[in-house]
Structure 1
Amino acid sequence: MTRLAKAMPIALAALLSASAALPQDAEQKPDNITAVTNENGRYLTADGIPTYKIAPDGTIDWLTYSGFRRYHSECHVCHGPEGEGSSYAPALKNSAVAMDYYDFVDVVTNGRKKVDASHNSVMPSFGDNVNVMCYLDDIYVYLKARGTDALPRGRPGKKEAKSDAIRQAEADCLGH
């Protein structure tokens, strides 16, 4: 077992069990924004989907802050600053809100190719890139916060402390 598979954050586990977790009735779309639980600094919706938490004073959760940093180191070159999109890649801040979480994870992990008469877009696979996969939930919640306009453009000012559980999961995933 690779170190990446051994300690993957919620993202890979969610992808592997996606069929069991998908809503049965497409008409009743679950709330994929509101945090209802906090598991050692990881905020989750009622359906167990990672999400952001922003306090009334503007303090953001650690994963959203980390997602800002990771997005700007790995994703912004194609998808533009703050998830706003570019001339050749879509605005991921919109994708994180509109797409199902499991579809988002699948596209980042496996990539996607859309080539036809009116499209020519290729999203490469990042499934072997620990700098993306170990922080995929972080990137996702950052983009979700941007996509709902809960988080303005620019470097977040105040952040929660990194929990020991998040610190350990990061070390395990990175093989430290």
Structure 2
Amino acid sequence: MPQDAAKKADNITAATNENGRYLTADGVPTYNVAPDGTVDWLTYSGFRRYHSECHVCHGPEGEGSTYAPALKKSAIAMDYYDFVDVVTNGRKKVDASHNSVMPSFGDNVNVMCYLDDIYVYLKARGTDAVPRGRPAKKEAKSDAIRQAETDCLGR
């Protein structure tokens, strides 16, 4: 297997499940879709959060728009930590051939508390593991995910 293909597989394949959070062998969040189409909670939550905060610029289901690029492939090609950095701090590319500005979402709890959710949803869309539209079946939200959400939102 070519090194690039192996890296992509490692970026996608769930190696562990920690209280409903699926991780690759190197600890990067990823999705899990059961044979019957049931998605993990973070992927389902990511669908909801993406459509609440991101789709206005990046288009439905991460497909992109005339205003901003598709993100579903970025979640696969881009390093997880670079993804977190861009969403948290924003990015500006303005030169002769680019004019794009990604605003910072570092102060937006509706994005930051669900950043892994959005990332795994986009990753699932980028591999076509999850079709367009709201996932029909989902795992239950674990107590650990519920507590992390409460802690992050300050409730």
Alpha-carbon distance between aligned partners in 2 of 1:66 and 1:46, rounded to the nearest angstrom = 22
Unaligned runs of 5+ in 1: 1-24
Q: Which residue of 2 aligns with 1:11?
A: none
Q: Which residue of 1 aligns with 2:122?
A: 143
Q: How does 1:103-142 map to 2 (within 5 A)?
A: 103-142=82-121
**Residue correspondences, number:** 152
**Which of 34, 40, 49 is the equivalent residue of 1:61?**
40
* Secondary structure, aligned partner of 1:92: coil
Q: Which residue of 1 aligns with 2:7?
A: 29
Q: How does 1:28-47 map to 2 (within 5 A)?
A: 29=7, 31-47=10-26
Residues 98 and 149 (structure 1 numbering): CA distance in 2 closer, same or farther, change over 3 Å? Answer: same
Q: Which residue of 1 aligns with 2:75?
A: 96
**Which of 65, 80, 96 is the equivalent residue of 2:59?**
80
Alpha-carbon distance between aligned partners in 2 of 1:79 and 1:85, rounded to the nearest angstrom = 5
Deviates further, 45-54 or 28-37: 28-37
| TM-score normalized with structure 2 length | 0.95
Alpha-carbon distance between aligned partners in 2 of 1:27 and 1:54, rounded to the nearest angstrom = 21
The alpha carbon displacement at 1:103 in A equals 0.5
The alpha carbon displacement at 1:111 in A equals 0.2
Q: Once superposed, what is the RMSD of the aligned Cα atoms?
A: 1.5
* Secondary structure, aligned partner of 2:81: helix
The alpha carbon displacement at 1:29 in A equals 3.1
Alpha-carbon distance between aligned partners in 2 of 1:174 and 1:123, rounded to the nearest angstrom = 24
Q: Residue type matched to 2:7 in 1?
A: K
The alpha carbon displacement at 1:88 in A equals 1.6
Q: Which residue of 2 aligns with 1:50?
A: 29
Q: Residue type matched to 1:123 in 2?
A: M
The alpha carbon displacement at 1:118 in A equals 1.0
Alpha-carbon distance between aligned partners in 2 of 1:59 and 1:66, rounded to the nearest angstrom = 13
The alpha carbon displacement at 1:27 in A equals 10
Unaligned runs of 5+ in 2: none
Alpha-carbon distance between aligned partners in 1 of 2:4 and 2:12, rounded to the nearest angstrom = 17
Alpha-carbon distance between aligned partners in 2 of 1:95 and 1:129, rounded to the nearest angstrom = 21
